[in-house]
Chains A and B, each alone.
Chain A
């Protein structure tokens, strides 16, 4: 009987912990224990973690090299800001904001479809160039739309991204991407990375797998973009240039490819490093790309490459089969 109790306890433990986290992040800012700067850093870590884990889906699990992530982020940022600034400035935030973030994600996710389709036939360097072209199209497109302020960008975005919202979306992103990578589609995505011909020959529908990967990845880039816009309160097209993509690439390849824990680690380290490098001024723009070069040379898979902490995996993957047969007499 006590065995049953332990089992139920640990089954719901993660949900309880995550929910407690939400309450803590909602209450903490009000207590005054977190000053504005610390809140800013925490929100940045969460946003970057979403960006990192979603790019990791394509660059890590699928083994492609997308440099267009900032482009998807831009679409989410602009789509959500249009809603909160232009279309429904008077709507109650508690309702409008989650919807705006969701729509930001959907707009970016839709843009992921054509890129996903292009990846059916194109791989490696050529796909990287396509994602670069996508990034430039988005940036130039936004610069030429007067409605969103052209190159000057959108100003006066309400500051709606609280620590709690950032935490919430971060948990959603990691949960969904974890579900995906530990599903048949996720295994298909990894099989494409390892050997696409063998994957096809083993019945993997590589087109579906690629589409799912690109759409999910760009959806969460859009979500992160929406949170980003409502954190900084102003966005312009050059917030989403190749340097932004590079920053996310560094997080992925530092933390570890094809790893949830690595994504968290990479986002945390890079965000805090960027904060520490503020005194360097524009010279800090040199540090991250240089770090990327060093990583590619000395540790191309990153700290946690192709590994993960057990607590991040679905239970079914960490519970050995033996345990199942041990449990059998109980039922």
Chain B
């Protein structure tokens, strides 16, 4: 079975710093893959390479068997790769509904001329986008806040909205960058259940970057471990947990591994 996503000798330099070095890994369809590693290991850079925000210095990225290197981030997004950001990046002054619609919009086939003249074609699509986005928001209990500014939501709701916005793209691959950041263990546990439900409901493949170890161990089918941009271990959660190389990398920085 071919992988949904594959990276081949992926490398990214920032000046003299090698943020990602020679990384070859694959993500299988429908799995939840954890990516862990100490601060500065290159996890976020890995996502930025996958989503086209930075071009790789060398190496290749295959999505559904085709190279996506050199595509614009928006093109990659429209192929079905959605993400959230480590530091929430909502459209803060736009409403919750508009945030969701912007992601949904990429699927609306109408031209700038339709938009400028508000032709029937544009109007039908607009209605469709409002209805579909509201449905999605209601599914995530954000419907009552549809007209509030995204920036006014509570931290937890903002995190949730960022995931909903990513789902409005109708992705096959969802990249989550520390969705539990700033949450206490109880909230992280709730998020774990939530993500498991989302994974099933939307038939997703998920790559999860997370520091909450309990969550990663509970949720992930497989885990890859990065340190200084290099893959130092990988495998089933139990194998990774027992790997002395991983324990060492973590003891050096965080000092605990459940």
Contact pick for B102, options A176, A204, A306, A321, CB 8 Å = A204
Q: Report the number of A-B residue pairs with Cβ-Cβ less than 8 Å.
A: 117
Within 8 A of A (CB), among B152-183: 165-166, 168-169
Residue B66, interface by CB 8 Å: no
Q: Which residues in B have their C-beta under 8 angstroms from that of A77?
A: none
- Nearest-neighbour CB distance to chain B for A314, whole angstroms, equals 7
- Nearest-neighbour CB distance to chain A for B73, whole angstroms, equals 4
Q: Are B115 and A180 in contact, CB atoms less than 8 angstroms apart?
A: yes
In Å, the complex CA distance between A179 and B123 comes to: 10
Given contacts A180-B115, A316-B126, contact A200 B74 (CB under 8 A): yes
Within 8 A of A (CB), among B83-102: 83, 85, 89-94, 98, 101-102
Q: Which residues in A have their C-beta under 8 angstroms from that of B52?
A: 200
Over the window 292-316 of chain A, the binary record of Cβ atoms lying under 8 Å from chain B Cβ atoms (1 yes, 0 no) is: 0000000000000010000000101
Given contacts A190-B94, A208-B112, A216-B116, contact A201 B83 (CB under 8 A): yes
Q: Are B130 and A316 in contact, CB atoms less than 8 angstroms apart?
A: yes
Contact pick for B74, options A187, A203, A216, CB 8 Å = A203
Q: Are B73 and A200 in contact, CB atoms less than 8 angstroms apart?
A: yes
B interface: dominant SS: helix
- Nearest-neighbour CB distance to chain A for B116, whole angstroms, equals 5
Q: In this complex, what residue of B is CB-closest to A194?
A: B91
Contact pick for B112, options A197, A199, A200, A212, CB 8 Å = A212
Over the window 65-87 of chain B, the binary record of Cβ atoms lying under 8 Å from chain A Cβ atoms (1 yes, 0 no) is: 00000001110011000110100
Q: Which residues in B have their C-beta under 8 angstroms from that of A191?
A: 91, 94, 102
Q: Are A204 and B93 in contact, CB atoms less than 8 angstroms apart?
A: no
Residue B8, interface by CB 8 Å: no
Residue A116, interface by CB 8 Å: no
- List of 8 A-B pairs having minimum Cβ-Cβ separation, nearest first: A203-B106, A183-B115, A194-B91, A200-B73, A184-B105, A203-B77, A198-B89, A179-B118
In Å, the complex CA distance between A182 and B98 comes to: 10
- We find that the number of chain A residues with CB closer than 8 angstroms to chain B is 32
User: Most A CB atoms within 10 A — which of B82, B114, B118, B168?
Assistant: B118
Over the window 169-195 of chain A, the binary record of Cβ atoms lying under 8 Å from chain B Cβ atoms (1 yes, 0 no) is: 000000010011011111110110011
- Nearest-neighbour CB distance to chain B for A331, whole angstroms, equals 14
Q: Which residues in B have their C-beta under 8 angstroms from that of A321?
A: 130-131, 134
Given contacts A185-B112, A188-B105, contact A205 B74 (CB under 8 A): yes
Q: Which residues in A have their C-beta under 8 angstroms from that of B74?
A: 199-206
Contact pick for A201, options B77, B118, B126, B127, CB 8 Å = B77
